[in-house]
């Protein structure tokens, strides 16, 4: 099999929420595969700092700061996003509480930050893909696209929504030359999950629950995102690829 199938040279990729967490690993993966990467976050300073770090490593990167959950902010970035071939909808938030403890405002913030944001960015980027007859949309779901868990109801609701939105995107855009798929990460070791990883009781329970027996490292998402961003996945559409050490495969 030719490695050219996975070559992203000449493509432009937008990775939302790529100033920290898993977004950094996703952006680095497509950049190392040859794509020009647009680094995104709400902070212009953080986005430029991350883009500088990528450029120092020899990658082609630019910064574009906007709030993915705000329609006006996304629309203002449209000129920079016009040539995007690969869209990775990664930005997201959570707020762990029990269902009855959430205010309506807290619920809506998570819905907007994770699900509405995916719609807003896609409707800005995908028209250009349709015009060119080519595009890759990669939405970031979660094992909670499939599983329920206490203290995460709105987050799980958004990630279940990502799973179905991905299928709807496939149904509408596949005839136009676009593949829409999702990645469902399991429990990855990042600064955002440190509080869980540092919880000895939870971490022991989790390792016993995962067939692979450990937390994942961010770079272990690289293969999945490059595959779904490349020609290698041209006949893969509407799917969610779980990268979870087997968590969703077992009871």
* Angle at alpha carbon of residue 205, lines to 203 and 210, rounded to 5°: 90
**Beta carbons within 8 Å of 58's beta carbon, 6+ residues apart:** none
Neighbours of 186 (CB within 10 A): 22
Total Cβ atoms within 10 A of residue 45: 11
Instruction: State the Cα–Cα distance between residues 160 and 154, nearest whole angstrom.
Output: 10
The CA distance from 190 to 44, in Å, is 22
Rounded to whole angstroms, how far apart are CA atoms 93 and 155? Answer: 8
Give the whole-angstrom CA distance, residue 140 versus residue 169. Answer: 14
- State the first-to-last Cα distance of the chain, in angstroms, to the nearest integer: 36
CA distances for 106 relative to 44, 96, 97, angstroms: 25, 10, 10
Low-confidence ranges of the chain (pLDDT < 50): none
Q: Give the pLDDT confidence of 209-248 residue by residue, as tens digits.
A: 999 999 999 999 999 999 999 999 999 999 999 999 999 9
Which contiguous run of DSSP H or E holds residue 128?
A: helix 117-132
Cβ atoms < 10 Å from Cβ of 128: 16
Q: Could you give the residue numbers annotated as active site?
A: 155
- Do residues 47 and 63 lie in contact, with contact meaning Cβ atoms separated by under 8 Å? yes
Is residue 229 a contact partner of residue 180, using CB atoms and an 8 Å limit? Answer: no
Tokens of 143: 């094992």
Give pLDDT, residue 2: 65
pLDDT at 1: 62
pTM of the predicted model as reported, rounded to 2 decimal places = 0.97
């Amino acid at each position: 099999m030719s490695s050219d199938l996975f070559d992203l040279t000449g493509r432009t990729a937008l990775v939302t929420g790529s100033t920290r967490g898993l977004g950094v690993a996703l952006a680095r993966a497509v950049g190392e595969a040859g794509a020009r990467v647009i680094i995104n976050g709400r902070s212009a300073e953080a986005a430029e700092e991350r883009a500088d770090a990528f450029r120092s490593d020899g990658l082609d990167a630019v910064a574009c700061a906007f709030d993915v959950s705000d329609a006006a902010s996304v629309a203002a970035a449209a000129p920079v996003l016009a040539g995007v071939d690969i869209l990775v909808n990664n930005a997201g938030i959570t707020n762990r509480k029990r269902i009855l403890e959430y205010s309506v405002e807290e619920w809506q913030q998570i819905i907007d930050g994770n699900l509405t944001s995916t719609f807003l960015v896609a409707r800005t980027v995908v028209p250009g893909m349709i015009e060119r007859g080519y595009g890759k949309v990669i939405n970031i779901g979660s094992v909670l696209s499939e599983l329920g868990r206490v203290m995460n109801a709105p987050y799980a609701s958004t990630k279940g929504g990502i799973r179905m939105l991905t299928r709807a995107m496939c149904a509408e855009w596949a005839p136009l030359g676009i593949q829409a798929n999702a990645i469902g990460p399991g429990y990855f070791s990042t600064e955002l999950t440190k509080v869980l990883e540092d919880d000895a009781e939870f971490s022991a329970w989790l390792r016993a629950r995962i067939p692979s027996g450990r937390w994942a490292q961010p770079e272990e998402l690289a293969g999945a995102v490059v595959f779904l961003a490349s020609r290698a996945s041209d006949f893969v559409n509407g799917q969610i690829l779980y990268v979870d050490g087997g968590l969703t495969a077992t009871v």
